[in-house]
Amino acid sequence: MAYVAPAPAEVEEVELYHAKSFITKYVFSQDAKVIAIQYSFTAIAIGVVGLVLSSMMRLQLGFPDSFSIIDPADYYQFITMHGMIMVIYLLTALFLGGFGNYLIPLMVGARDMVFPYVNMISYWVYLLAVLILVASFFVEGGPTGAGWTLYPPQAILEGTPGSGGGIILMLVSLIFFIIGFTMGGLNYVVTVLQGRTRGMTLMRMPLTIWGIFIATILALLAFPALFVGGVMLLLDRVLETSFFMPAIISMGEQLEYGGGSPILFQHLFWFFGHPEVYIVGLPAFGIVSDLISVHARRHIFGYRMMVWALVAIGGISFIVWAHHMYVSGMNPWFGFFFATTTLIIAIPTALKVYNWVLTLWKANIRFTIPMLFALGFIVTFVNGGITGLFLGNTAIDVPLSDTMFVVAHFHMVMGVAPLMVIFGAIYHWFPLMSGRMLDETLGRIHFWVTFIGAYSIFLPLHYIGFQGVPRRYFEMGETNFIPPSVQDLNAFVTVVAVMVGFAQILFFYNLFKSMSSGEIAEKNPWKAASLEWQTPEQPPAHGNFGDELPVVYRWAYAYGVPGAKDDFVPQDMHPDEVGGEGAHEASKE
């Protein structure tokens, strides 16, 4: 077919805010790239706090008699803060606020987010939420020890550590987080739908953007449930309403509460909590698809199917929440329904895994560090996914509920797996963000220590869980059903965990050193086809694309196009320049 490319230009220009002073350029900045970096630094900083807390817990679990750094109350508080920080303040904020802000405008060909001012406020509200969370460590009674699920009634009753100021600050912090997130989320959704450049149809968007986009929609639908639960729990705590609180006799005394339903809170919490897994998961799926495609020099296998799977997973994730509540005394039919939906969601998920593997099949794989982390992700995700299938079945879940097996499962699937993607993504996009490469050797050491370490930590926990060791226990003491081997394993796990924790110093050292003195990155070092690498400057300047916005002629996966002069064709290269027959044949095989 004779193809005539349309004349370029006629991309509608937007008015761009130009910062005038240092403060508005780097502190109260409205540039999504700066906001992204602010989000990332804050999220990683609080994430390190979460990591330190986990080491303290591990020391206790591994050597219950040798350390007296923490007492049982501390242990509860540390679990709670660790879980909350990792899931919400680190992963959610980093994937959406960090990667979302950096990549959406660049990858869809926009100069910035559509509401830059709101976007800026979003970060500052998030920072406020983090500060409130941190403040709860310093109030009387310390942070809440209710568990990251914050189940009433115990979450707000005296006797639970941090039931004073701690739980109040926790809830207030969550409410602020949600407000801040909503402001960001509004930007991500509207920018993706309304702010793309000419020629960038939805189905030409890189999967990274699809993942972040669907995850944002999920978040906008799921966070309201946490908001509602949080506000009502706060009122129960502060004004002694009884939304969730049943009649309670505490130490021989009848409390003011009565009539409320704790199970109602559980429903609200998990209506948020399960989609939350995918709010973290979908951006990871998207990013890893792109990492694999770029570093294997191959178009992603089954692009459309990958998009459909993202949409399907997003939809189904709203009807599986009660698989977290099998032991709450629910009607067996109810359990049956949720077990079925849970198994159904495995289908699109498995599809994605097949497509990643098929993309790699006979591809020209380059074992760069991002590729290593991407492979690490696939393996870990499959691992955690399979134990998820076990736990999704009511009959298997009931005995395993609240054991270390569950801890092992969710750390694999939503702890280690997304972290692998985050590391991979940082190694991949660092040259774009800073103009310099990260050190290769340090990176390889970092990968292997983290990967092998993560398995040494979490594989044994599956076994420990099978032996019946419950989660959220400060110590087991002399428990006759638990064999001594468990204690040895626990000690081993702790030693590895502390080592892996320290190994991350290597990563931070690499980051900071490379930022100032790393090897200067050549333009588009990975030879990627997507738009973010095609900016006139690297790192991209304010406004991203210089004088004229790019015009897009193909999808982001044009690798190995026959006859083209290079082995990849950037999305915005005019068909006449491509050479060969490759103009639009892209990488159809």
Partner 1 sequence: MGLFSQLAEKPWTPEQAAIDDRHKGVEFSLTTPQFGLRVFLGFVTVIFTLFVVVYVERMVFADWKPMPEPWLLWVNTAILVISSIGLQWAWVSADKGDADGVKKGLYLGGVLAFAFLTGQLLVWQQLVVLGFYASSNPASAFFYLFTALHAVHLLGGLVAWGRTAIKVKSGMDMAKVRGSVELCAVYWHFLLVIWIVIFSLLLFT
Q: What are the residues binding Cu ion (CB under 5 A)?
A: 274
Give the interface segment with partner 1, choosing from 191-199, 284-292, 403-411, 508-516 (CB under 8 A).
191-199
**Which partner, ligand HEM, Cu ion, partner 1, none, binds residue 381 by CB below 5 to 8 Å per kind?**
none
163 secondary structure, DSSP code: T
Residues in region 220-259 near partner 1 by CB under 8 A: 220-221, 224-225, 227-228, 231-232, 235, 239-243, 256, 258-259
Q: Are 138 and 258 in contact (CB under 8 A)?
A: no
Q: Are 540 and 432 in contact (CB under 8 A)?
A: yes
| Residue from the set 62, 83, 180, 392 that interacts with ligand HEM by CB under 6 A | 83
Closest CA relative to residue 46, chosen from 3, 10, 97: 97
Nearer to Cu ion, 274 or 428 (CB): 274
- Determine if residue 560 is left, alpha or beta; phi over 0 gives left, psi from -120 to 50 gives alpha, anything else beta: left
67 lies in the binding site for partner 1 (CB under 8 A): no
Q: Are 116 and 183 in contact (CB under 8 A)?
A: no
16 lies in the binding site for partner 1 (CB under 8 A): no
Residues in region 517-576 near partner 1 by CB under 8 A: 551-555, 557
Q: Residue 197: which residues within 8 A CB-CB, separation 6 or more?
A: 11, 108, 109, 110, 531, 549, 550, 551, 552
Site string for partner 1, 153-182 (x = CB under 8 A): -----------------------------x
How far apart are alpha carbons 403 and 406 in whole angstroms? 6
578 lies in the binding site for ligand HEM (CB under 6 A): no
Q: Are 435 and 521 in contact (CB under 8 A)?
A: yes
Closest CA relative to residue 461, chosen from 508, 521, 410, 388: 410
394 lies in the binding site for ligand HEM (CB under 6 A): no
Residues in region 113-152 near ligand HEM by CB under 6 A: 147-148
Give the interface segment with ligand HEM, choosing from 16-24, 349-357, 497-505, 514-522 (CB under 6 A).
497-505
How far apart are alpha carbons 102 and 588 in whole angstroms? 30
3 state DSSP class of 216: helix
44 lies in the binding site for ligand HEM (CB under 6 A): no
**Which partner, ligand HEM, partner 1, Cu ion, none, binds residue 220 by CB below 5 to 8 Å per kind?**
partner 1
Give the interface segment with ligand HEM, choosing from 252-260, 410-418, 520-528, 566-574 (CB under 6 A).
410-418
- Cβ-based burial of 288 (10 A; exposed 0-12, middle 13-18, buried ≥19): buried
Nearer to ligand HEM, 306 or 407 (CB): 407
**Which partner, ligand HEM, Cu ion, partner 1, none, binds residue 274 by CB below 5 to 8 Å per kind?**
Cu ion
Site string for partner 1, 317-356 (x = CB under 8 A): ----------------------------------------
Question: CB of residue 150 vs ligand HEM: minimum separation in angstroms?
Answer: 9
Q: Are 583 and 575 in contact (CB under 8 A)?
A: yes
Closest CA relative to residue 159, chosen from 262, 76, 234, 263: 76
558 lies in the binding site for ligand HEM (CB under 6 A): no
How far apart are alpha carbons 486 and 464 in whole angstroms? 6
Q: Are 316 and 344 in contact (CB under 8 A)?
A: yes
**Which partner, partner 1, Cu ion, ligand HEM, none, binds residue 243 by CB below 5 to 8 Å per kind?**
partner 1
Closest CA relative to residue 439, chosen from 390, 335, 512, 532: 512
Question: CB of residue 168 vs ligand HEM: minimum separation in angstroms?
Answer: 18
Whether residue 153 has a cis bond before it, omega within 30° of 0? yes
**Which partner, Cu ion, ligand HEM, partner 1, none, binds residue 141 by CB below 5 to 8 Å per kind?**
none
Which letter, b or e, does each residue of 358-375 get, where b requires 16 or more Cβ atoms within 10 Å of its Cβ?
ebbeebebeebbbbbbbb
Secondary element (H or E) of residue 250: strand 249-250
3 state DSSP class of 254: strand
The token pair at 361 is 């099949």
**Which partner, ligand HEM, partner 1, Cu ion, none, binds residue 147 by CB below 5 to 8 Å per kind?**
ligand HEM
Nearer to partner 1, 228 or 248 (CB): 228
391 lies in the binding site for ligand HEM (CB under 6 A): no
314 lies in the binding site for partner 1 (CB under 8 A): no
Interacting residue ranges for ligand HEM, rule: CB under 6 A: 51, 54, 57-58, 79-80, 82-83, 86-87, 91, 147-148, 407, 411, 414-415, 419, 457, 471-472, 497, 500-501
Interacting residue ranges for partner 1, rule: CB under 8 A: 1, 3, 5-6, 11-12, 108-109, 114-115, 182, 185-186, 189-190, 193-204, 220-221, 224-225, 227-228, 231-232, 235, 239-243, 256, 258-261, 264, 268, 271, 299, 303-304, 307-308, 311, 551-555, 557, 583-588
